[in-house]
Every structure is written in C-alpha cells, then in structure tokens.
A and B are shown apart, each in its own frame.
Chain A
Amino acid sequence: MTILFRKIFLLCMDCNMSKIVKLQFSVEVSMIDYIAAFITGLTTGGLSCLAVQGGLLTSSIARQVENEARNAVAGRSVKAARVKSGSPAVPARNKRSALAITIFLAAKLLAYTLVGFLLGALGSAFQLTPVMQGIFHLAIGVFMVGNALRMFNVHPVFRYFSFEPPSFLTRFIRRTARNSQGEFITPAFLGLLTVFIPCGVTQTIMALALATGDPIQGALLMFAFTLGTSPVFFTLAYLFTSLGAKLERGFLVVTAALVLILGVVSMDTGLNLVGSPVSISRVFASQTIEHANILQSAESAVIQINVENSRYSPNVVYAQAGVPVRLELVTDNTQSCTRAFTIPSLDIAQILPKTGVVAIEIPVQKAGRLGFTCSMGMYSGEIIFQ
C-alpha cells in the first residue's frame, strides 16, 4: 500500500512540479491561475493528497462500512417487525456511501476554502512548520492505529479511540436527520481535519494563497484546487465502498487492516518530520553511509548529497561538530518529493530545481544527529556531528 501511494506520488510530482513551481513565482493571480490550480488538483493533487489524507477518508468510510455491515444484519429482522426507524434496504447502501464521501469532500472543500481565505488575509509568515505537521501526523497516526485495533476488537480500551458524542447531540441529530442517523457527522468532521495534514501539492497551493495577500483570491485559489482534487477522491473512495458492501463483515477486517497500515505510515511520517532519529522507514531504508564526500577545512565543511527520486544518497553523513557545514544538494532530473527538502529542527524548507545544485548553510552544530527529510516525511536521512 505504501509503495503504491509512493508510486502515485512520484507520478504526480513528475508531471506537475514544473507547473507548480511556475505558479509559485507568479504573485499576480489571474483566471489562468485558478484554472491551473483546478487542473493541478484534478490531475495530481487528488492522487498525491490521497497518499496523505487517504487515511482520514478510509477512517470515515470504515465507520460507514461498519454501519452498513451492522445494518445488513439488523435490517432484515427489523424490517420484518416493521419497526419504523429500521435500517434502509440493501440497494440504498451505495447511495449512502456516496453521500458520506460527498459530505467528507464538501467539508474538506469548505475547510480549505476557509484556510485559503485566512492565508490570504494573513498574507504574512503563516506556515505550519515541519515539526507542527509532524506532531499532527503522529497524533493522527496514533488515532488511526487505535481505531484499527478497536475494529479488530483487540481490547476494550481501544473503544476510547472513538468519539462518543453526548446524548443531547445524538438525540438532536437523530431527530433532525432520521434517514442518515447522524453517521455523516464523522465524515464531515474528518473532512475538516484534513486541513491539518496538507500534502505536498496542497502546501504549494497554500503558499500561493498566502502570497496573494488577499482573502478572496486566497479562498478562490484553494477552492479551485480542492474542487479539482474531489473527483479522484470520490471515484477511488466510491469503488472502495461498493466493493465493501458486497463482502459484508469480512471487509471490516480489510478496512481495519488498511487503517492500521495508513496509521503506521502517518506515524512514520510524523516521526520523520519532527526529526526523530528513530522511524520505521529509517529501519528499513538501506543506509548509504558516507565519509568521503566531506571536504573538510578548518573553518567549514562541504557535504554533497545526491537527491534521487527515491532516496537521498548518502543518507547518513558524518560531519565535525562545531564547524559550519555547507550542504550541497545535487538534483539530476529528479522528479519526486525528495525535491522538497526539509530540515525540521532548523526550520529549513527548500524546493530544489529539477536539475541543479542548491547550497544550504547549516550553522555550527553541537555533537549529535541532525535529521533531514522530504516534506512528506517519506524519504529521510541524517547528518551525524561528532
């Protein structure tokens, strides 16, 4: 699954990076930019964002599938007894799944448009730092893993990973929306939550919204982009649930497994983004340790790192503590998110050109580890100061 998402991501970065980079440097927003933002969302944003936000959508659909499965069991007997608020018949299911996904996407659209508005209004240095993003990813990862274990019914304690709304609220929801039984609140809430985990492409558009310095333009830009991402999200998610409805309860296990995997991926991303020396991807990544590329002099050191599509090479570098380091990042027809180079603990975030060399000056460091990663926390490495 992870590999699939990464492949999808590479694919999108490939075809659209140049367009986005171009977008980023044009501050005057014209109709063309809105259309470009929409197309970016339609072609690549949807897929690449699914890599990051898919977890949230899966969680919301998991809830949906869970209910469908229960309804299928309870529905028959309830129908027989003519209990009024019984579960809907089987054919209504797909319609309800579609509705849940639509609500998720509508909430997402609303939230991002609002963010675009706020970003435009702020127009200044508001950006979620990599560390803050990392914390969000970690928290969401823990939440998802907990929920997966709840679905697997591992231990009663995991039930507390789900929100239990207060009775007055559920009664209100139940009575005002009998047909939906209120289970669409979860997708709506999760849709809003996606704001906190924007993917690489979204971040770029967010940066652009910020650059407009105008609330309306910012909002329109985010609206156009998020609207563009919706069809891909919808199609994939819908196929996902129609399939699930047929497989009934057994599918619950698959969904739980998927949520579990995505939760672990999210936690791993979080660990990389907060600059943790321990993360799952780092355990499995083949390490290319290098001492040789360091050109050392008394006053400074130069470290060269090759930025490849699926890794940084070398990804473990030794340097001398107490000496400023010049990091030279070499890209050669690189088309993946490794180009969004970040050093979380130093708040360094740099988009690298497709081909070229970018130098980053690292101030004097004490002995220890300095982690670097791509902006999505998928590829990482570290400089060890000795």
Chain B
Amino acid sequence: MEKRAYKVPDMHCPNCKMRLEGLEDELPGIRQIYASYHQQTLSIEFDERLVSEIEIIQAAKLMGYQLIAD
C-alpha cells in the first residue's frame, strides 16, 4: 500500500474536489482518496500492484489537473 500527497493548483472550484475524488471510480486499487479545494491538495492511498503512481498522475492530467508531489 502506497500513500502520496500532492499539491493541485489547478483546482479552481469546489466541484473539482468531487471530480478528482472520482478517480477512485475510474482506476483500480485506490483505497482512500481525499481532495480539498480549500487547501488545493490531494492525498491518496493505493495498492501499487493494481495501479501505479504514473497512471494516477496521468488520469488526473486528463481531467485537467496537474499533480505536484508534496
């Protein structure tokens, strides 16, 4: 199990939180995900055997968000 925290400066509205957290419905192996518009952060816990960090970053990028390692 891996844990990561990111800065997400692209989050421009409260609904971005919901959209980003929607990653858990799109990618396998995500145990926990929490995004905050107020803090502009994303923290995620995932099973590295099912999904890689690169895949997560890629999926977020496709949604229009750049994840910056915290």
Residue ranges of A at the interface with B (Cβ–Cβ < 8 Å): 63, 66-67, 70, 73-74, 77-78, 81, 83-85, 153, 156, 159-160, 162-165, 167, 170-171, 173-175, 181-183
Is A83 a contact of B62 with CB atoms below 8 Å?
A: yes
Is B25 a contact of A66 with CB atoms below 8 Å?
A: no
Q: Which of B15, B21, B59 contacts A167 (CB 8 A)?
A: B21
Is B22 a contact of A174 with CB atoms below 8 Å?
A: yes
Which residues of the partner chain A approach B40 to less than 8 Å between Cβ atoms? Answer: 156, 159
- Shortest beta-carbon distance, A98 to chain B, in Å? 18
Q: Beta-carbon contacts of B11-43 to A below 8 Å, as 1s and 0s?
A: 011111111011001100000001011101000
Given A83-B26, A84-B26, A160-B38, A78-B18 contact (CB < 8 Å): no
Q: Is the interface of A mostly helix, strand, loop or mixed?
A: helix
21 A–B pairs (Cβ distance < 8 Å), ordered by A: A63-B15, A73-B64, A74-B63, A74-B64, A77-B62, A77-B64, A78-B64, A83-B62, A83-B63, A84-B26, A85-B25, A160-B38, A162-B14, A164-B14, A164-B36, A164-B38, A165-B14, A167-B21, A167-B34, A170-B17, A181-B18
Residue ranges of B at the interface with A (Cβ–Cβ < 8 Å): 12-19, 21-22, 25-26, 34, 36-38, 40, 59, 62-64
Is B12 a contact of A70 with CB atoms below 8 Å?
A: yes
If A77-B62, A174-B18 are given as contacts, then 10 extra A-B residue pairs at C-beta distance below 8 Å, sorted by A number, are: A66-B15, A77-B64, A81-B62, A84-B26, A85-B22, A164-B17, A164-B38, A165-B18, A174-B21, A181-B19
